[in-house]
A and B are shown apart, each in its own frame.
Chain A
Amino acid sequence: MKTPEQKREGRQEAEIGRSMRRVSRGLSAFAFALMVVGLALALTSAPHPFDPRAIDLSARGQRLMLSGIVVLCLLPGVRVLTAGAHYVAARRLAQAVVALVVLLELISSIITG
């Protein structure tokens, strides 16, 4: 027979597990999307040597791929923060910080190419 305390801990662990899976699914899908789009962009485009205004989509594609790799490599850190933070507010804060980093990385990759 479980005590109310054990039941509460069990519920909390289940919630942490669900939260980790949600974050893992979302971030890994985002990372793979960045990598695949970047690869497609890099493969299907070539710089125009005679037009100085042309955007080098190949370099931009490579940057997107690298952004995807960075996002993917941030994922284990998010899992640690999610698993380690027993308080919902701390987990939300950790996830918000990572979301901000991911967003900044994406914006910088689009702007700087």
Chain B
Amino acid sequence: MSILLALFGTGLLAGAVGALLGLGGGIFLVPALTLAFHLPVRIAVGTSLVSVIATSAGVAASANEDSGADVMLALRLEIATAAGAVIGGLVAGLVSASFLSILFAVVVFATAGYTLAKSLSRSGEEAMYRRDYTPRRWVAGSSTAGLAGMVSGLLGVGGGFIKVPTMYAVMGVPLGIATATSNFMVGITAAASVFVYIGRGDVRPFIAVPTATGVFLGAVLGSLVQSRIKVGALRWALIVLLLGIGVQMLLRGLQGGA
């Protein structure tokens, strides 16, 4: 029973911190499950994917107004992203756990860099959500979206740190719309690969249910608190935390941990 409560608490924390930073909970959840609970990395990824879907479902159900997402852009990119996610899920079953840990460390470092860049960004609200744009360079955009999907399927993260800069810098989509579109896509991408994990037996109900419930509630709490507190200082602390997690995952991978 205590392990279930610990999983629920970990999910709650990961969901809340993820929502405060504008990231999915997966980037904190997978390291927590592998480093603190000593779970195999594939089971941690399967659990994380279920949690990502739960969070996305909760956000979709509670949104009362237009989130700003470009749904048609999301659906077109999702063709490549979902295909990449399925491939990523299949590849995850073939590569070693150490390789997955090292790759996860690389993704954590990239996410820390992305969060840092986001906190330094000074775009005006109006420019971020302007609607007078036409997405361009579809081939480059779809290819990178496919890569983001593969990373999501391999590591159980949302992949927003790849999709948002691509939509913004390559396809010419305003930053606010790119972020909202990426958030709309996260659950769909995770759903494409999670069935590979379920089929392989890497989604364990006793682990996934308390964790996903915790992440879902944490994300709701985090998004409620986000508008009431200043996250500037917290963001810097969490960037340091991300770097620490990256180093731990890298060491685990180099030591050949499962």
B56 CB within 8 Å of chain A: yes
Residue of A nearest to B63 (CB): A21
* Known contacts A24-B61, A42-B206, A69-B198; A76/B190 CB under 8 A: yes
Report whether over half of chain B's contact residues are helix, strand or loop; otherwise say mixed: helix
Contact B205 A62 (CB under 8 A): yes
List which B64-106 residues lie within 8 A (CB) of chain A.
66, 71, 75, 78
Pair A80/B209 contact, Cβ less than 8 Å:
no
Interface of A is mostly: helix
Given contacts A35-B213, A42-B206, A65-B209, are A70 and B61 in contact (CB under 8 A)?
no
| A102 close to B (CB within 8 Å) | no
Taking CB atoms, residues of chain A closer than 8 Å to B195 are 73
Q: 1/0 per position for B197-232, CB-CB distance to A under 8 A?
A: 010000101101110110010000000000000000
Q: What is the distance, in angstroms, from A90's C-beta to the closest C-beta of chain B?
A: 14
Chain B residues with CB under 8 Å of A83's CB are: 71, 75
Q: Are A69 and B50 in contact (CB under 8 A)?
A: yes
In the complex, how many residues of chain A place their beta carbon closer than 8 angstroms to a beta carbon of chain B? 31
Q: A38-B209, A69-B50 are in contact. Are A28 and B63 (CB under 8 A)?
A: no
CB of B42, distance to nearest CB on chain A (Å) = 16
Closest beta carbon of chain A to B135's beta carbon, Å: 17
Contact of B194 among A28, A39, A73 (CB under 8 A): A73
Q: Name the interface residues of A37-71: CB closer than 8 Å to any CB of B.
A: 38-39, 42-43, 62, 65-66, 68-70
**Does B127 reach chain A (CB closer than 8 Å)?**
no
Q: A17-B66, A36-B213, A75-B187 known; A24 and B205 CB under 8 Å?
A: no
Minimum CB–CB distance from A24 to chain B (whole Å) comes to: 4
CA A41 to CA B4, docked complex, whole Å: 14
Chain B residues with CB under 8 Å of A8's CB are none
- Decide if A7 is an interface residue (CB 8 Å cutoff): no
A24 cross-chain contacts in B, Cβ below 8 A: 57, 60-61
Would you call A25 an interface residue if the criterion is a C-beta within 8 Å of the partner chain's C-beta atoms?
yes
Assess whether A69 is in contact with B191, with CB atoms less than 8 Å apart. no
Interface pair A73/B206, CB less than 8 Å apart = no
Please, which residues of chain B bring their CB within 8 A of the CB of A94? none
Task: Return the 6 tightest CB-CB contacts between A and B, nearest first.
Answer: A65-B205, A76-B191, A24-B61, A28-B57, A24-B60, A76-B188
